[in-house]
Structure 1
Amino acid sequence: MTQTCIVIGASHAAAQLTASLRQEGWEGKIIVIGDEQQLPYNHPPLSKAYLSGDQSADELLIRKPNFYEQKEIEFRLGLRVEKIDRAAKTVALNNGETLSYDKLALCTGSRVRTVSLPGIELAGIHYLRDLKDVDGIRGEVVAGKSAVIVGGGYIGLETAASLKKLGMSVTVLEMAPRVLARVTAPELSEFYTRVHTEEGVDIKTGVAVSEFIGGDRVEKVTCADGSEYAADLVVIGVGIIPNVELAQECGLEVENGVVVDEFARTNDPDIVAAGDVTNHYNGIYKIRLRLESVPNAADQAKSAAASICGKEKLYCTLPWFWSDQYDLKLQIAGLSQGYDQVVIRGDKDSGRSFAAFYLREGKLIAADCVNRPPEFMVAKKILSEGIEVDIAKLADESIAPKAFLG
Structure 2
Amino acid sequence: MNYVLVGNSAASLFAAEAIRQQDTRSEITVLTADTYPFYSRCLTTYFLAGDISQSQLALRHVHTLQALQLTVHYHCPVTGLEPRKRVLFTAAGEYYRYDKCLIATGASAVSLPVPGSNLPEVFTLRHLEDALRIKKHLEPNRRAVIIGGGLVSLKSAYALLKQGLRVTVIISSGQILSQMLNPEAADLLQAHLTSHGLTFQFNQDVGAIEGSEHVHSVHLRNGETLPADIVIVGKGVLPNTQPFSSSGLAIRKGIPVNEHLETNLADVYAAGDVAEAWDRIHQIQRLNPIWPNATTQGRIAGANMAGHHLTYSGSMGMNAVDFFGLRIISAGMIRPPSAPPWHHKDTLSRSTTGHPHYQRLVWKNDELKGFVLVGNTERAGVLTALIQSERPLSQTVQQELQNGKRSRVF
TM-score grouping bracket, smaller chain normalisation: over 0.9
Q: Where do 1:121-270 residues align within 5 Å?
A: 121-270=118-267
| SS of match in other structure, 2:378 | helix
Matched, 1:29 2:27: yes
TM-score (norm 2): 0.92
Q: Which amino acid aligns with 1:128?
A: L
| SS of match in other structure, 1:162 | helix
Q: Which amino acid aligns with 2:158?
A: A
Identity %: 23
Q: Which residue of 1 aligns with 2:274?
A: 277
Q: Which residue of 1 aligns with 2:14?
A: 16
Q: How many residues align?
A: 400
| SS of match in other structure, 1:403 | coil
1:347 paired residue among 334, 343, 349: 349
Deviations 1:118-176 (A, max 9, x none): 11122211111111111111110111111111001111111111111111111110001
Q: Distance in 1 between matches of 2:409 and 2:101?
A: 43
Q: Which amino acid aligns with 1:370?
A: V
Q: Distance in 1 between matches of 2:37 and 2:234?
A: 24
Q: Which residue of 1 aligns with 2:294?
A: 297
Q: Which residue of 1 aligns with 2:392?
A: 388
Change (3 A) 1:199 1:305: same
Q: Which amino acid aligns with 1:346?
A: L
| SS of match in other structure, 2:65 | helix
Shift of 1:322: 1.6
Deviations 1:2-54 (A, max 9, x none): x211111111111111111001225310000111111110011112x201122
Q: Which amino acid aligns with 2:347?
A: R
Shift of 1:252: 1.0
Change (3 A) 1:46 1:339: farther
Deviations 1:229-283 (A, max 9, x none): 1111111101000111223321111122111111111111210111011111234
Matched, 1:89 2:89: no
Q: Which residue of 2 aligns with 1:356?
A: 360
| SS of match in other structure, 2:208 | strand
Deviations 1:160-218 (A, max 9, x none): 11111111111110001211223321112211211111111111110001111123111
Q: Distance in 2 between matches of 1:335 and 1:252?
A: 31
Q: Which residue of 2 aligns with 1:73?
A: 70
Matched, 1:323 2:306: no
Contact 1:11 1:40 survives alignment (8 Å): yes
Change (3 A) 1:315 1:187: same
Q: Distance in 2 between matches of 1:358 and 1:194?
A: 24
Q: Which amino acid aligns with 2:43?
A: P
Matched, 1:370 2:374: yes
| SS of match in other structure, 1:50 | helix
Change (3 A) 1:84 1:405: same
More off after superposition, 312-321 vs 211-220: 312-321
Q: Distance in 2 between matches of 1:84 and 1:333?
A: 36
Q: Distance in 2 between matches of 1:351 and 1:56?
A: 28
| SS of match in other structure, 1:62 | coil
1:52 paired residue among 41, 49, 54: 49
Q: Distance in 2 between matches of 1:170 and 1:314?
A: 45
Q: Distance in 2 between matches of 1:386 and 1:92?
A: 43
| SS of match in other structure, 1:7 | strand
More off after superposition, 259-268 vs 60-69: 60-69
Contact 1:387 1:405 survives alignment (8 Å): no
Question: Unaligned stretches of 5+ in structure 1?
Answer: none
The 4+ residue runs of structure 1 with deviation greater than 6 A are none
| SS of match in other structure, 2:321 | strand
Contact 1:339 1:360 survives alignment (8 Å): no
Shift of 1:55: 1.7
Shift of 1:361: 5.3
Q: Which residue of 2 aligns with 1:288?
A: 285
Shift of 1:68: 2.5
TM-score (norm 1): 0.93
Q: Distance in 2 between matches of 1:238 and 1:352?
A: 28
Q: Distance in 1 between matches of 2:329 and 2:134?
A: 27
Cα RMSD for the two superposed structures: 2.0
Q: Which amino acid aligns with 1:41?
A: Y
Q: Distance in 2 between matches of 1:362 and 1:298?
A: 30
Q: Which amino acid aligns with 1:46?
A: T
